Structure 1
Amino acid sequence: MKHDNLTDVLEFLLLGFSDDPERQPLTFSLFLSMYVVTMLGNLLIILAVSSDSHLHTPMYVFLSILSVADIGFTSTTVPKVILDIQTHNRVISHAGCLIQLSFFYLFGCLDSVLLTVMAYDRFVAICYPLLLDSQLQCLIVSQLTFCTNVEIPHFFCDPPQLFKLSCNDTSTNKIFMYFIGAIFGGIPVSGILFSYTRILSSVLRVPSTGGKYKAFSTCGSHLSVVCLFYGTGLGVYLGSTVSHSPRKDAVVSMMYAVVAPMLNPFIYSLRNRDIKRALQRLLNRTA
């Protein structure tokens, strides 16, 4: 079998979701609408927090950073999908693939840490670990060798799919991927579940039924997004070795890469009374 080193591979082909031309307009409309909603929702949060001095507190600073992370996380994949459908060209360059992978991990891990911080209600050092993770992933993929098949059955350069295309023994790479998944997935999930367990026990001691309902409503919406982000993300990466349906993996990946960042502004911020007041003041000044 002929082996081509990655440095000799100039481009990859992203197969996306479907080759059926009749489904392309629907896919285009779906991704475009979700991207527009994600951008508008998160930009509103950033504008509200930055323009209102009353919101210059740690909690709202975290919310604005989460919005920046969501914008970056979505922007690493969705614009490429929209452009590919519009131009009927699914090619991504070797350098573009590595850059996309690097920023996808950077913003994805930042999202994970921020969701955990918001559950813990305390700050942790994030900048250097996140940058290190994304660059290590990029370095590992850049050392792989590939056979003649460079078709990626996904809508972005996902490491599990690249491992399947490689002619190398990727067992070490997979172990590293699981290790990173445990650090940026398993540990945060454990902390979040512990936090919500303590919250649940406190809520159950509230004598008022209305108070319990309000607390469960707030925590339930937060927890649903957390489960969507971590559940689908960890499911794809930890189940990549046994999954035989790349298209199904692509659909599940869309849940944490596109849908979760779109929902975050509505769940964490736009239902918040202080954010609503700040947006109203901002709109009044603009008007």
Structure 2
Amino acid sequence: MDYRLADDTREHIILLLLRLAVDSSLTADPTVYSELQCVIESVLDPRSFEGTDPKEAVHRVCSTFYKTVDDVCLQSRIAGHIIPSSPWLAEVRCRLAVSFLLEDPSPLHEPPQTLLDLNRITELLATNRRFQVKRFQGKADYDWRELIALTALLSIAIDVSALELNYRGDRTEDDFNADIDKLASQLKTMYCSIQVSGASHMTLTLAKGDLEALHYRILYSIRSKPPPKKTLFESHVNDNQDIRRMLSKYSTRGDGNMGIPLR
């Protein structure tokens, strides 16, 4: 669909569409939900911008949402309604997600190599109080829905950053996988610290499940190859050459007898 609109009109329409996207009563209708996402995708298409830089226009729109939307649940809905049907749209929603996560507008205009940094996300999980879930365990006033929304933003940011980092020429495959492993380890620490009992609130269970699902997704979907399997015997034998030599004494001898050492 071709939208030939004035710059200020287009920006106003994008703001209205994304405002409609956070209305759960409206998007509960599958038809409305689908059509709304298609229209958002069309008006954000850089090919439909004439006489203006699409990056500057979208940056103004994203800055407006960053300044006006403080609720994490609404932030995740806004970013989630931008379909990553092209690298351009994937980057737009990644910029929004990273800005909301870091609570900093600078990712809205950072270069890709700075924006798409897995180590920054890992450090955020380790140091930001919003992700210190062990501190909030058992506290009735903690809103676990916020953690679910934060996990959704993480999923958006990690997905795009991993794709970009995987093809950066200055990084090896081992470097990329090492960053993925650090991030996965931090996610595992988070969801393992959530103790779910039979009387736990449902949102607590959902929050833990979302974190665990994200952990396994980045290990087995974003990582360039699955992590090596570790077993007790394999690691023990690999780390102790003396045991290997000892076991070799008991191998079958050429005369058909078991290799019981004779003295």
Verify same fold: TM over 0.5: no
- Compute the TM-score of the two structures, normalised by the length of structure 2: 0.35
Instruction: State the structure with bigger RCO (CA 8 A, min sep 6), 1 or 2.
Output: 1
Q: Over alpha carbons, which structure has the higher Rg?
A: 2
User: TM-score w.r.t. structure 1 length?
Assistant: 0.33
Higher strand share: 1
Structure with greater helix share of residues: 1
